Structure 1
Amino acid sequence: MKIVVAIDSLKGSLTSIQAGEAIEKGIKKVDLEAEVVIKPLADGGEGTVDALVDGMGGNMEFIKVMGPARKSVLAKYGIIRPTKSDMEETSTAIMEMSQAAGITQVTDKERNPLYTTTYGVGQMIVDAIHKGCRRFIMGIGGSATNDGGVGMLQALGYDFLDKDGNQIKHGAIGLKDLVQIKDDKAIPELKDCEFHIACDVTNPLCGEQGCSVIFGPQKGATEQMIKDMDHWLADYAKIAKESFTKADADKPGTGAAGGLGFAFLTFTNATLKSGVDLILHETKLEEEIKDADIVITGEGCLDAQTAMGKVPIGVAKLAKKYGKLVLGFSGAVTKGATACNEAGIDAYFPIVRSAVSLEDAMKKKNAQENLIDTVEQVFRLIKVLGK
Structure 2
Amino acid sequence: MKIVLAIDSFKGCLSSQEVEETFAGALQQQGAEVIALPMSDGGEGMLEAFISTLQGSFIDAPAHDPLMRPIRARYGRTADGMAVIETARTCGLTLMTAEERNPLLATTYGVGELIAHAIKQGCRNFIIGLGGSGTSDAGMGMLQALADIFTTNQKIEELPDSCLNECHFTLACDVRNPLYGPHGAAHIFGPQKGATPEMVCQLDERAKQFAQESARRMGKDLSQHPGAGAAGGLGYAFLQYFHTRMESGADLLLDLIHFDQQLKGADLVITGEGHADRQTLMGKLPERVLRHAQKQNIPVWLLAGQADDTAQLLEAGFAKVDSITPKEMPLEEALQAETAKRNIRKFIFEKLLSPT
Aligned-partner SS, 1:69: coil
Of the three residues 53, 59, 62, the one matched with 1:61 is 59
1:45 deviates by 1.5
The 8 Å contact of residues 237 and 249 in structure 1, kept in 2 or not, is answered as yes
Matched ranges for 1:20-39 at <5 A: 20-31=20-31, 34=33, 36-39=34-37
Summarize the Cα distance change of 1:374–1:194 in structure 2 as closer, same or farther, 3 Å threshold: farther
1:373 deviates by 3.2
Summarize the Cα distance change of 1:333–1:148 in structure 2 as closer, same or farther, 3 Å threshold: closer
* Alignment partner of 1:278 is 2:252: yes
Summarize the Cα distance change of 1:372–1:350 in structure 2 as closer, same or farther, 3 Å threshold: same
Residue of structure 2 in register with 1:171 after alignment: none
Q: Which 5+ residue runs of structure 2 have no aligned equivalent?
A: none
How far, CA to CA, are the matches of 1:150 and 1:208 in structure 2?
Answer: 21
1:345 deviates by 1.8
Aligned-partner SS, 1:156: helix
How far, CA to CA, are the matches of 1:2 and 1:321 in structure 2?
Answer: 17
How far, CA to CA, are the matches of 2:138 and 2:330 in structure 1?
Answer: 45
1:114 deviates by 4.1
**2:263 corresponds to which letter in structure 1?**
I
Residue of structure 2 in register with 1:373 after alignment: 349
Residue of structure 1 in register with 2:163 after alignment: 189
The 8 Å contact of residues 148 and 154 in structure 2, kept in 1 or not, is answered as no
Matched ranges for 1:177-326 at <5 A: 181-183=157-159, 185-186=160-161, 188-219=162-193, 229-326=203-300
**1:119 corresponds to which letter in structure 2?**
Y
**2:135 corresponds to which letter in structure 1?**
T
**2:342 corresponds to which letter in structure 1?**
N
How far, CA to CA, are the matches of 2:100 and 2:19 in structure 1?
Answer: 37
**1:84-103 Cα shifts (integer Å, max 9, x gaps):** xxxxxx33333222221233
1:206 deviates by 3.0
The 8 Å contact of residues 274 and 304 in structure 2, kept in 1 or not, is answered as yes
**1:31-62 Cα shifts (integer Å, max 9, x gaps):** 47x4x322111222222223434565443332
1:111 deviates by 4.2
Summarize the Cα distance change of 1:374–1:250 in structure 2 as closer, same or farther, 3 Å threshold: same
Aligned-partner SS, 1:146: coil
The 8 Å contact of residues 211 and 255 in structure 1, kept in 2 or not, is answered as yes
How far, CA to CA, are the matches of 2:326 and 2:190 in structure 1?
Answer: 44
Q: Please identify the structure whose Cα radius of gyration is greater.
A: 1
* Alignment partner of 1:341 is 2:331: no
The 8 Å contact of residues 199 and 256 in structure 1, kept in 2 or not, is answered as yes
**1:195 corresponds to which letter in structure 2?**
F
**1:247 corresponds to which letter in structure 2?**
D
**1:133-161 Cα shifts (integer Å, max 9, x gaps):** 33322222333333321221232238999
**1:278-307 Cα shifts (integer Å, max 9, x gaps):** 332333322322553432222345545544
How far, CA to CA, are the matches of 2:66 and 2:341 in structure 1?
Answer: 36
Aligned-partner SS, 1:201: coil
When the two structures are aligned, how many residues end up with a matched partner? 353
Identity %: 39
Worse-matched range after superposition: 324-333 or 44-53: 324-333
How far, CA to CA, are the matches of 1:229 and 1:272 in structure 2?
Answer: 24
Summarize the Cα distance change of 1:113–1:132 in structure 2 as closer, same or farther, 3 Å threshold: same
**1:187-222 Cα shifts (integer Å, max 9, x gaps):** x33333322223333332233333344444555556
Summarize the Cα distance change of 1:221–1:54 in structure 2 as closer, same or farther, 3 Å threshold: same
The 8 Å contact of residues 297 and 328 in structure 1, kept in 2 or not, is answered as yes
Q: Which 5+ residue runs of structure 1 have no aligned equivalent?
A: 83-89, 169-179, 382-387
1:69 deviates by 1.8
Summarize the Cα distance change of 1:303–1:126 in structure 2 as closer, same or farther, 3 Å threshold: same
Aligned-partner SS, 2:9: coil
How far, CA to CA, are the matches of 1:223 and 1:12 in structure 2?
Answer: 26
RMSD: 3.8
How far, CA to CA, are the matches of 1:71 and 1:354 in structure 2?
Answer: 40
